[in-house]
Amino acid sequence: MLQLLNPLWLWAMAAISIAVLIHLWHIKTGKTLRIGSIALLGESARQSSRSFRINDWLLLLLRCLLLIVLSLLLTQPFWQEQAQQTKAKGWILVEKEPIKEVYAHFKTQIDSLLKAGYQLHQLDTSFKAINLQQVLNDTSKTAKSYTKPRSYWPLLTLLEQQIPQKTPTYLFTSNQLQHFRGAKPALNSDLHWKTYTPADSVATWIQNAFLTSKDSIRLILGESKPAGTSFSTINLQSTDRGNSRFNVSFEEGKPVVSLKNKPQNLVLVDTSTLKITVYQNQNPTDAAYLNAALQSVKRFTGRKMKITTASSFNQIPENQNWIFWLSSQSFPLNSSKLVAGGSVFEYENGKTQAINSWINNENLNDPINLYQQILPDKRSIAATTENVWQNGFGQSVLSRQNVGNKNIYRFYSRFNLGWNDLVWSSDFPKLILNLLLKSYPQRNFEAFDKRKIAANQQQIVTATNENPAKQISQPKDLTDLKHAFWIALFIVFLLERILALQTKKESNYA
């Protein structure tokens, strides 16, 4: 049965009337008659010969057909065919790649279901039926490369559209959290879900490696288990090659480190120095608070940082990664003081308002009192602006915007006790640390995530169907007709052009 996703485009068929009118309004070209003398001919008015008669029926039909095919193509047609009712008592769903491990965990249940008449299907978008013994006996190996794990939630939504309603379904999967991304659907299926913890349920990796100010290598070591993910730090000497857990070597003159049990996963050691300048202008007290926070960050992370304080623009060194511009005047972005991709933290200028609120941020343990604030301007609500810190009313206290490959942080308050309690808060260094960390590339550790989902999070929500008559009783096979209509459109257009050119030549020689 033909189905149309956008039937509104059927109105485009009304253009057929235009083609008919053009063919009806047929103007004949006059002919020249050669005679011997014009003496007996009188002067007459010039007239045009018109005929409301269709001469080129085939050409008209082709043009009408062309408009019809084009209209149907715009409606996004597809063919919906009722699939044959499966004779299986129910479905068993498993992922093909780890099927041997799944079968080892649930052998008794799967075998009993198969004997009871259940059919084994592959858990992917095709849901095709598979033979258990053929898959278990398959010894072919595919090259292993990391691909983002498939989320089960969209598959279950698609499954409910494909499987006959209320068909008993047994789903056997792992319980790893990385397979449960996105919104959990509300289903109306007879689903029985069994999960297991995979054998490789512990992962250890080097998340980051950098050279400290004492010329040692600090490793951020990640470890993920079903219970959670944690990180720890380990210090290595740059020449330490006899460590029992790590390999330290040089590749193209640059230090690299790897786990001894995974020597192929090399991690480049960051040897760069983060250059930071605090431009105090007429705010030496603000600069003193900020310098104390920066020194705390330097000691805590161990990273190589060079922190400079400047009271004039000329004192700012060249090629800085961060400039804390404690001035209400805008920083000149075209200056060579800041490297490409660098960041400027500047005081915003504008009208000051008293406010009884607090500073909000996800990294804060407790809200920080806010007493005064610069009224945010239009730049703070621009589409390209990100609110980093907000007040209790949702207004921006610190915004971030990328301008010409440089990050501009606009602070609508001050590092001053008359404005807020930020500089007295124990979270102040942590907030500064989170800003500086954006200067370092962060490695995605999704591939190492071994956390398991909580039982209450996995539990399926049953959908309430107010109109059972609309429920789908059988699966339907859908075939997109887009390509077929494109081919038909091309063929009709080609025939129309050939016939139109042929008709034109015949009329010229007539």
Tell me the per-residue pLDDT of 86-126, one tens digit each, with 9 for 90 and over. 567 899 999 887 888 999 999 999 999 999 999 999 998 88
Alpha-carbon distance of 94 to 174, in angstroms, equals: 10
Q: Is the pTM of this model over 0.75?
A: no
Q: How many other C-beta atoms are found inside a 10 Å radius of the C-beta of residue 329? A: 11
* pLDDT score at 380: 61
Q: Give the list of residues 6+ apart from residue 200 with CB closer than 8 angstroms, or none.
A: 450
* pLDDT score at 475: 45
pLDDT band at 220 (very low <50, low <70, confident <90, very high): very high
| DSSP at 437 | G
Alpha-carbon distance of 153 to 182, in angstroms, equals: 7
* pLDDT score at 67: 83
Alpha-carbon distance of 187 to 458, in angstroms, equals: 13
* pLDDT score at 181: 86
Kind plus residue range of the DSSP H or E element containing 211: strand 203-211
Instruction: Pick the more confident residue, 312 or 34.
Output: 312
pLDDT tens, 40-99?
A: 555 554 544 455 556 677 877 888 888 888 888 888 787 766 545 556 789 999 988 788
Phi and psi at residue 156, to the nearest 5°: -70, -35
Q: Which amino acid is at 163?
A: I
Would you say how long the chain is, in residues?
510
* pLDDT score at 143: 53
pLDDT tens, 360-411?
A: 888 788 889 999 999 877 766 666 789 899 998 888 999 999 988 899 999 9
Residue 474 has pLDDT above 50, yes or no: no
Residue 470 has pLDDT above 80, yes or no: no
Alpha-carbon distance of 75 to 176, in angstroms, equals: 42
Residue whose tokens read 């057929």 = 16
Q: 193 with 460: CB under 8 angstroms?
A: yes
Q: Are strands 305-310 and 274-279 parallel, antiparallel or unpaired?
A: parallel
Segment 494-503 mean pLDDT: 82
Of the candidates 175, 131, 434, 115, which has an alpha carbon nearest to the alpha carbon of residue 300?
Answer: 434
